[in-house]
Amino acid sequence: MLFLATSLTYFLASAFLDPRSDYLKLRPIPPESSIDASLTYAGVNDKTPIMERYGHWLHQIITQWNWGYSPQGEPINHQLWGRAWVSFQLVMPATILTVALGVGLGVYTAIRKYKAADRTWNVISSFFLIVPTFVLALLIVLAYLQIDQHTGEHHPLSVVGLDTSSPLAYVQSLALPVISLTLATYAGYHFTQRTYLLDEINADYVRTARAKGLTKNVAIRRHALRPSLIPTAFSVALNVALAVTGAVFIESIFAIQGAGLYFLSTLQQNDINGAVGVAFLGGLFTCVGLTLADVTIAMIDPRIRIS
C-alpha cells in the first residue's frame, strides 16, 4: 500500500507541478537546451514520457536509495531526511505531552461528570479546540514577550529556530513550540477519552464490578479504563504522520526548518521529487504508527492478546 500510494503521488505531482515554469519566469529566460538539461538531470523533464521518468526514478530509489534532485539540482536526500528529523524532534515530545494531558483530563472529567471540575475543563478545552493553531502560537509568543518585557528579567526561552549548540539551549528553543503544539492538539484526546470512558462506565460489566463491592474509582481503573483507551491508541497512531508533515504553522511561526515547511517549499518551487519524498515519509510514519497501535492494543486488551 505504501508503494502504491507513493507511486500515485508521483504521477499526481508530475501532472500538476510544472518545474519548467520556474525557468520561464526568469529574466532573461535561459536557453531551452539549458532548461532541458537541468530538468533531465533532475529527472523531471516534461518532454520525457512519464513512464520513462517513473522507471528511472524508481530504479534510483531501489538501487541507490536516491530520491532524485530538485529542479535546481539539489539532492532530495540531503533535505528530506534532515528536515524529517527536525520535525520528529518537535512533534514527538508534543505528542507525548498531548496524549498524557488529553487522556488524563478525559479520565479526570469522566469520573466527575457534570461537576464543576468537568464543566470548567470542558470550557477550557473547547477554547483550545476552536482557536486556530497559528493564532494560539502567536498568542503564546506575545504572552511570553510581554512577560519578558514587564518583568525586566532575561527569560532564556527562544522564539526563533532550533538551537542544538548545547542540551540546555536545545530544550529552551523547543519549549515554546512544544507547548504551543500541545495546547493546540490535546483537546481532541480529552473529549474522545471522556466520551469513550463514559460509555464504558455505564457498561454492564462495570456495574457488576460495582455490585460486587468495588469502589467507583477501582472499578473504572481495573475494568473501564483499558477498553476506553483502544480508540485513543488508534487516534495516536494516525497522528504519528504529523511527525513529518504536521506542525506547519508551528514551524512557520517559530522558524523551525522542518519537513512541514519543506513540503510547502516543494509545492511552491514545483519540486516533484521533493513533494513525493515527503509524501512517502508521511505514509511510512503512518504505517509505523498503526503497527505500534496494534501492539499497544494487544497489551491493553487481554482478549486480543490471547487471540
What pLDDT is stored for residue 252 in this prediction?
87
Q: What are phi and psi of 200, to 5 degrees?
A: -70, -35
The phi and psi torsions of 27 (rounded to 5 degrees) equal -130, 120
Residue 165: predicted pLDDT: 80
Closest CA to 262 of 246, 238, 285: 246
Q: Residue 270 corresponds to which cell in the numbers above? A: 514545483
Of the candidates 236, 264, 293, the residue with the CA atom closest to the CA atom of residue 94:
236
pLDDT at residue number 155? 65
Q: What pLDDT does residue 75 have? A: 92
> For the structural domain made of 77-306, what CATH number should be given?
1.10.3720.10
pLDDT per 10-residue tile (average), the chain, 307 residues: 94 94 88 91 92 94 93 89 88 90 92 92 95 91 83 73 84 90 92 89 81 80 81 78 73 87 90 93 86 82 68
Contacts of 228 (CB under 8 A, 6+ apart): 193, 196, 197, 199, 200
Domain coordinates in residue numbering, the chain: 2-64, 77-306
Judge if pTM exceeds 0.85.
Answer: no
Q: What is residue 306's predicted lDDT score, i.e. its pLDDT?
A: 64
- The pLDDT value recorded for residue 39 is 92
- Collapsing DSSP to helix, strand or coil, 69 comes out as strand
